[in-house]
């Protein structure tokens, strides 16, 4: 008889909603969504009632009634949930950012003022505790980096494997006009600004490609060794002229970041991340190799383009995430979740849980991403000085 995998969702916000929608598209594994838990009863009810889900009274009850736990909570709460689930041999699908530094707990904590070396040390310690818990568990950490599973990225993975190409350099970006999250904008919840909240996506994709290259050509991954970075807080400047198109509610985080990451083979990637881009989400990565060049346009892309002289005609039409207007030409995403990899990552994760298939996006990739980002914050504090990356 085919096994049914029990699934629980920790969280009730934006991430929980798109995880739920992606789960509805699983085809190779049978699942039962047992319910959800959130410490906010009102938001929990708003999430569970229309989806006919059980509202659990505690995170422990959710874990006990699940084989796989989706961690769709603010990053500051990831570590304790992940460890609690792993201790009971439950697989965990962890949203990004994986973990980080979220302050000292004091009322006066400000993300503008703490020493970045302290943040780096705390983030590395958090990574190690989670990795150690995974090593002791029969279950696995599944790092929910949808960029890795985006069809364009997976096609490039195939090309790297078949051409045995050497990646010489990459550049990539995730930018838009501001986060969906209500807690984003405060370091104590999000663990930083654009560098971690946006930059984790293209950075993880770049690190993943070097993993693929290394395994294909040499049988071992190629990992990052150093980073130089800068950050800016443009919308918080006194002279910023607010026209109302960009989110400006950031308390103590940056809204722009760039990273220059050097790998152990001497090649590099440049990553850009910001809240300062209008016209929809801008997600792409370009690879320049010794035998081909690839541009992966995750969003937007030109699969479908449409024009209207007045956006009233598209009042009830979803066009694409984060666009400010539907008037004029629009790059429509006919199936946004498909292009961005959400359903593909869930299929892969549940095949891993059910059939022990290998993971493309695992705890090692999650760890290298966070270690690089927090070394980047230290570099930015030092005005771009190169910082060595401590790998777990």
The answer to whether the beta carbons of residues 319 and 281 sit under 8 Å apart is: no
- Cα 50 to Cα 20, 35, 43, 45: the distances in Å are 12, 12, 12, 9
Tokens 């207007």 sit on residue: 325
Give the pLDDT confidence of 129-154 residue by residue, as tens digits.
999 999 999 999 999 999 999 999 99
Q: What is the dihedral of CA 365, 370, 371, 375, to 10 degrees?
A: 140
Burial (Cβ within 10 Å: 0-12, 13-18, ≥19) of residue 154: middle
Model confidence at 270, pLDDT cuts 50, 70, 90, reads very high
**pLDDT at residue 333, as a whole number:** 87
Q: Name all domains of the chain by residue range, CATH numbers in brackets.
A: 4-145 (3.40.50.720), 146-343+369-388 (3.30.360.10)
Helix axes 363-381, 116-136, angle to 10 degrees: 170
Give per-residue pLDDT as tens, 288-317.
999 999 999 999 888 899 999 999 999 999
Rg (CA), the chain: 20
| Residue 282 pLDDT > 60 | yes
pLDDT at 324 over 90: no
Q: CB-based burial of residue 328 (10 Å sphere; 0-12 exposed, 13-18 middle, 19+ buried)?
A: exposed
Residue 155 clears pLDDT 70, i.e. is over it: yes
* Segment 101-138, tens digit of pLDDT: 999 999 999 999 999 999 999 999 999 999 999 999 99
Is residue 87 classed as helix, strand or coil in its secondary structure? helix
Q: How confident is the model at residue 323 (pLDDT cuts 50, 70, 90)?
A: confident
Please state whether the predicted TM-score (pTM) of the whole model is above 0.85. Answer: yes
For residue 194, the model assigns a pLDDT of 97
For residue 1, what pLDDT is reported? 45
**CA 261 vs CA 197, 223, 269, 307: distances in Å:** 17, 10, 5, 40
Q: Is the pLDDT reported for residue 385 higher than 50?
A: yes
Question: What's the pLDDT at 2?
Answer: 65
């Amino acid at each position: 008889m085919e096994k049914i995998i029990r699934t629980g969702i920790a969280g009730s916000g934006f991430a929980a909603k798109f995880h739920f929608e992606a789960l509805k598209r699983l085809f190779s594994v049978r699942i039962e969504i047992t319910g959800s838990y959130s410490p906010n009863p009102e938001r929990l009810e708003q999430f569970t009632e229309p989806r006919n889900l059980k509202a659990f009274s505690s995170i422990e009850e959710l874990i006990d009634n699940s084989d796989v736990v989706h961690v769709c909570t603010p990053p500051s709460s990831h570590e304790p949930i992940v460890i609690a689930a792993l201790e009971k041999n439950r697989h965990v699908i962890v949203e990004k950012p994986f973990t980080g530094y979220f302050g000292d707990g004091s009322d006066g904590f400000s993300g503008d003022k703490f020493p970045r070396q302290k943040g780096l040390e705390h983030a590395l310690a958090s990574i190690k505790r989670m990795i150690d818990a995974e090593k002791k568990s029969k279950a696995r950490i599944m790092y929910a980096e949808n960029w890795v599973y985006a069809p364009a990225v997976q096609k490039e993975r195939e090309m790297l494997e078949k051409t045995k190409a050497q990646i010489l350099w990459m550049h990539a970006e995730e930018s838009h006009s501001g986060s969906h999250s209500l807690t984003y904008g405060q370091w104590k919840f999000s663990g930083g600004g654009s560098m971690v909240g946006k930059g984790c996506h293209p950075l993880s994709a770049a690190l993943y490609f070097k993993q693929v290259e290394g395994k294909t050509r040499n049988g071992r991954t190629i990992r990052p060794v150093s980073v130089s970075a800068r950050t800016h807080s443009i919308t918080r400047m006194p002279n910023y002229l607010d026209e109302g198109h960009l989110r400006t509610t950031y308390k103590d985080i940056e809204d722009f970041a760039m990273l220059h990451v050097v790998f152990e083979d001497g090649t590099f990637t440049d990553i850009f991340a910001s809240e300062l881009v209008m016209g929809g989400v801008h997600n792409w990565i370009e690879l320049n190799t010794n035998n081909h060049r690839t541009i992966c346009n995750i969003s937007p892309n030109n699969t479908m383009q449409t024009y209207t002289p007045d956006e009233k005609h598209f009042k009830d039409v979803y066009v694409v995430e984060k666009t400010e207007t539907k008037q004029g030409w629009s790059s429509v995403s006919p199936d946004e979740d498909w292009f961005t990899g959400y359903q593909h990552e869930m299929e892969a994760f549940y095949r891993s849980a059910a059939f022990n298939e290998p993971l493309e996006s695992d705890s090692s990739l999650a760890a290298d991403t966070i270690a690089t980002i927090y070394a980047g914050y230290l570099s930015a504090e030092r005005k771009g000085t190169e910082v060595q990356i401590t790998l777990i």
